[in-house]
Structure 1
């Protein structure tokens, strides 16, 4: 099966996006761990692993088509976060960027009548709905519980539980 050069570029760009997301979550996990947010650290380490898994899905898809995946250089993420809430807000924005890129690839697949890649991308479309909902729900906790030290400790516990929840469980 052949895919268009446009789709090949978009898929390789997605590899870079997923790799950068993985590194960003790794930086957030490290910040949380040093700051004393054990739940946040566990949560973001798990997110980092998940993004790497997403990257590998795209790498394998291209390789299965006989197209060597382009493994990108990764820019260093910021390691300076102001609060647990800021890490979650940044995460939601990052997920929205990933969602937009996936939707763009779906449009390319539709335009190219590339049914195989379209079917491959469906999983990512559904995954992004779950990811955005997860971060929106977590951010709501600051409105519901508050932002004082006890509330943030409670939210950190929620993040710990989220890190150990099965991947397909609702956020």
Structure 2
């Protein structure tokens, strides 16, 4: 059984992960609107990963005897000024998610909730990858700037991404 405080933190993370999925769908829609289907593909897959993460938290709460309480999900940004702005927002958002995960780890340590701490370590590692990927995408776009050929090359690269279900965090 988890404490009320931990249950609240985990439920809030479910909401944050679903918000992440909404945000990435919105960014993907932006890329579709400017005919960059490879970028759109990358973000649709990222949205699927975020839904998976939300469900991992959802299932964990149930597995440890907590109660899932779904909260409202805010509407994400949808009006982006540039490719770079959308990718910068992605990196900033992943950094925000990382801080949120770290906060829950701190609560787990404070409460001596070893089970939840162990569960969260998968997400600590995942966030390292998420931030690195978002940072790499942003740096590539910054490198090519407004060069249409460079953007199209990146679009082709991002079109190659395929969905891979996450390994289970137990």
TM over 0.5: yes
Single out whichever of 124-133 and 69-78 deviates more from structure 2: 69-78
1:40 touches 1:84 (CA, 8 Å); kept in 2?
Answer: no
Cα deviation, 1:108-142, whole Å, max 9, x if unaligned, reads 11111111000000000000000000011111213
The aligned counterpart of 1:155 is: 154
Matches within 5 A, 1:64-75: 64-75=63-74
- In the other structure, the counterpart of 1:54 is 53
Q: C-alpha distance in 2, partners of 1:132/1:77?
A: 19
Runs of 4+ more than 4 Å apart: 165-168
Q: Distance in 2 between matches of 1:15 and 1:149?
A: 38
What are the ranges of 5 or more consecutive residues in structure 1 without an aligned counterpart? none
Give, in whole Å, the separation in 1 of the partners of 2:89 and 2:142. 17
Q: What stretches of structure 2 of length at least 5 have no aligned partner? A: none
* TM-score (norm: length of structure 1): 0.91
| TM-score normalized by the length of structure 2 | 0.91
Cα pair 1:40 1:159 within 8 Å, conserved: yes
**Residue 166 (structure 1) shift:** 5.0
Contact 1:29–1:42 (CA under 8 A) maintained in structure 2: yes
Q: Distance in 2 between matches of 1:58 and 1:165?
A: 20
Count residues with an aligned counterpart: 166
Distance 2:118 2:138 in 1: 31
Match of 1:164 in 2: 162
Following superposition, the deviation at residue 167 of structure 1 comes to 6.8
